[in-house]
Copies of this chain bind each other. A is one copy, B any other.
Amino acid sequence: MTNVLIVYASQYGSTKKMAKTIALGAKEEGAEVTLKMAPETTTEDLIKADGIIFGSPVHMGSMDWQMKKFIDEVCSKLWMENKLNGKVGAVFATGSGFGNAGGGCELTMLSMLNNLVELGLLFIPLPKNTPGYADAGLQWGPYGRSMGPNMEQTGLTDEQLEAARHHGKHVARAAKLIKGQPLFS
């Protein structure tokens, strides 16, 4: 069985909705999925996982502090012991549409990617021909915008959720393929 862990922070529910949709995609590929908020996630969750996905709303241009606390206090222990090397990792984010260019979404994903790479994970991108990419795509992972440029509520679009679902499928496939392979030994 392939295990996929999705760790996220969420304030208004959009990130949670993206996380659940990614989980759905991973399950379609036969993976067992653990969906947890950052403060509840343990070293055991990480060790058990074959694929690890981090998600966060854009907060002041980078990941929510609860995700960073989890990384500093939980992930760091496994980094010390080289325990996560060779798993696969991926990211996603949500934000408002203020500024129209997704201000901060790229650095938010990058700040999470930075940690996944440090933990020794292979990073899974979001190819530009993934269904839904035109509405929700960044090379780093799917991005859900629940508001327009003037902060008007729009909700996540079907296309954005479609990109998220496929991201879950991609990670599950890669995790299944790479599981147990001695890439870095």
Residues on A facing B (Cβ under 8 Å): 59-65, 68-69, 71-73, 75-76, 79, 82, 85-86, 88, 98-107, 110-111, 114-115, 117-118, 120-125, 127-130, 133-140, 143, 145, 149-151, 170, 173-174, 177-178, 181-184
A86 nearest CB neighbor, chain B only: B127
18 A–B pairs (Cβ distance < 8 Å), ordered by A:
A59-B72, A60-B71, A60-B76, A61-B114, A61-B139, A62-B115, A82-B128, A86-B127, A100-B135, A104-B114, A107-B110, A114-B139, A118-B125, A120-B125, A122-B123, A130-B184, A134-B151, A173-B181
Contact of A177 among B71, B121, B183, B184 (CB under 8 A): B183
Given known A64-B72, A100-B136, contact A127–B174 (CB-CB < 8 A)? no
- Which residues of chain B have C-beta atoms less than 8 A from A123's C-beta? 117, 122-123, 125
CA distance A123 to B161 in the complex (A): 24
Give, as a whole number of angstroms, the nearest-CB distance from A95 to chain B: 8
Pairs of residues from A and B, 10 with the lowest C-beta to C-beta distance, nearest first: A101-B102, A106-B106, A99-B137, A120-B127, A65-B69, A123-B123, A65-B68, A118-B139, A117-B125, A61-B114
